[in-house]
A and B are shown apart, each in its own frame.
Chain A
Amino acid sequence: MLLIACPYCGPRAEIEFAYGGEAHIARPGPGVTEEEWAAFLYLRDNTKGVLAERWRHSHGCGRFFNALRDTRTDRILTTYEMGTPRPDIKEGEAA
């Protein structure tokens, strides 16, 4: 089970959280092509390596936040608030 540091509540067990999938996917504006809309809805990088992803502390504060996690080891490098840019941490570096 993962130990996830909620930016608001601190480290908590994974069962308190709901997964929100890949982060930083912006909804494209009106007037997009079918390709862009399909990509927004369905296409994912599915990264093998450091992935930016969303979590929600659903059984805690209820808030969404982002995490950087290495999908080859499941090690979480850092967590950060929604709306802030992806931290520039490379694989192998700790937060």
Chain B
Amino acid sequence: MQKFSAFSLARQALGRHLGWQPQWRSVAPKPSYDIIIVGGGGHGLGAAYYLAKQHGLRNIAVVERGWLAGGNTARNTTIIRSNYLFEQSSSYYEHALKLWEGLSDELNYNVMFSQRGCLMIAHNVHDVQVFKRHVYANRLNGIDNEWLTPEQVKAFCPPLNISPNIRYPVLGGALQRRAGTARHDAVAWGYARAASDLGVDIIENCEVTGIDRDASGRVTGVQTTRGPIRAGKVGVSAAGHSSVVMAMAGIRLPLQVNPLQALVSEPVKPAFPCVVMSNTIHAYISQSDKGEMVIGAGTDSYVSYTQRGGLHIPAHTLEAICELVPDFRRLRMLRSWGGITDNTPDRSPITAKTSVPGLYVNCGWGTGGFKATPGAANLFAWTIARDEPHPINAPFTIERFREGTLIDEAAAAAVAH
């Protein structure tokens, strides 16, 4: 692997940048691996990296049906934060946030992690009460989160309109200063490059079409569009296609997929200093380093695998944003798109062993799993390598839906994250 540094950049510049090598090896599948990860998004690529890096395993493949990180990794609005209500969730997301803080160094890859702060705006009495409860719960768990008055909100994010007379007035906000954004593609590419360097095979354009098991029920490999591959263990991290892949091993999951839409504006000069979220109007706003306003909208109500949704969903968000951030009224939107989000009934993920020996699943991240990428990858790797969960992801089982031990962030936030 060519190391990236100011020195290597200067050297390549002298050679007119003709000396750069591909960042990961392009390989055909071998007949057999110790571990196969299904799904080459950030979570799957990261899991392969940590299996190799922290657990010393080498004979690993990541199998991706399309191109690398073309799923929700490429489609999300990249908000990263850890101020979730319940202790189980906040410790999982905080584990991820701590890994984000060192990720560019760890991978020798600039993931452009920017801790510019995430402000969650309250528009009504219910929001105020819920967010204050979050602030107190987070502080008890040692996670930074603070309450801002409307004037403090305005000082932190001047483009916001705090007039009390608008449809969704700003009654205050919860600010996590360590929260922020990162460059989605860079995270996937950085993990792919580092994993490949440790010997992980990254196999693109290879769809898993079946999961093979022996007479005892144990996983023995996968069927793919590029032929069968044997494997000792299979870890499924297929986001929007988790139900489809797990059904190949006879497992039904507590998941429903919904389209989630986002859009970006034309690029403008730096005009929006932080991340602003409003659960009430389903708006998620930040400015990318290219200058585009990145805007996430709400989910469509129905099950769909189309990666698109109805225009009325972003229209609702934009109408509210035009009042909340009047400067945005004259912005032109360049592109809009959708992703398939895999939602659990309690809006908490699953990172766990399954009832099938040798089969593991990491799914249910729904509308909010980008922020978890390093944490989920790290703990999924742990779970696969040791055949038991880490204490942090131990509560995030499939069985919690039978036992009634839900981690009900759905009720806590009332909406997406």
A21: interface (CB < 8 Å): yes
| Chain A residues bordering chain B, tally (CB within 8 A) | 27
User: A21 to B343, alpha carbons, bound, how many Å?
Assistant: 13
**B306 CB contact (under 8 Å) in A19, A41, A43, A72:** A72
A18: interface (CB < 8 Å): yes
**B252 CB contact (under 8 Å) in A14, A15, A39, A48:** A39
User: A34 to B403, alpha carbons, bound, how many Å?
Assistant: 8
B257: interface (CB < 8 Å): yes
- Give the residue name and chain of the B residue nearest to A47 (CB): B303
Q: Is the Cβ of A53 less than 8 Å from the Cβ of B402?
A: no
User: A43 to B301, alpha carbons, bound, how many Å?
Assistant: 18
B residues near A21, Cβ cutoff 8 Å: 256, 303
B7: interface (CB < 8 Å): no
User: A37 to B401, alpha carbons, bound, how many Å?
Assistant: 10
In chain A between 6 and 38, which residues have their CB closer than 8 angstroms to a CB of chain B? 14-15, 18-19, 21-22, 34-35, 38
Contacts known (A1-B310, A1-B312, A14-B310); A42 close to B305, Cβ less than 8 A = no
A84: interface (CB < 8 Å): no
B345: interface (CB < 8 Å): yes
The prevalent SS among residues of A at the interface is mixed
Q: Is the Cβ of B302 less than 8 Å from the Cβ of A19?
A: yes
B254: interface (CB < 8 Å): yes
Q: Is the Cβ of A1 less than 8 Å from the Cβ of B252?
A: no
Q: Is the Cβ of B302 less than 8 Å from the Cβ of A53?
A: yes
Q: Is the Cβ of A46 less than 8 Å from the Cβ of B253?
A: yes
A2: interface (CB < 8 Å): yes
**A46 CB contact (under 8 Å) in B255, B345, B401:** B255
Contacts known (A2-B310, A14-B310); A43 close to B304, Cβ less than 8 A = no
Q: Is the Cβ of B401 less than 8 Å from the Cβ of A44?
A: no
B residues near A72, Cβ cutoff 8 Å: 305-306
Q: Is the Cβ of A71 less than 8 Å from the Cβ of B252?
A: no
Q: Is the Cβ of B254 less than 8 Å from the Cβ of A42?
A: yes
A51: interface (CB < 8 Å): yes
A-B pairs with lowest CB-CB distance, top 7: A46-B243, A19-B301, A42-B254, A1-B310, A38-B402, A42-B401, A43-B252
User: Can you list 28 A-B contacts (CB < 8 A)?
Assistant: A2-B302, A2-B310, A19-B301, A21-B303, A22-B256, A35-B402, A38-B402, A39-B252, A42-B254, A42-B401, A43-B252, A43-B254, A43-B401, A44-B243, A44-B254, A44-B255, A46-B243, A46-B244, A46-B253, A46-B255, A46-B256, A46-B257, A48-B243, A48-B305, A53-B303, A72-B306, A73-B306, A74-B304
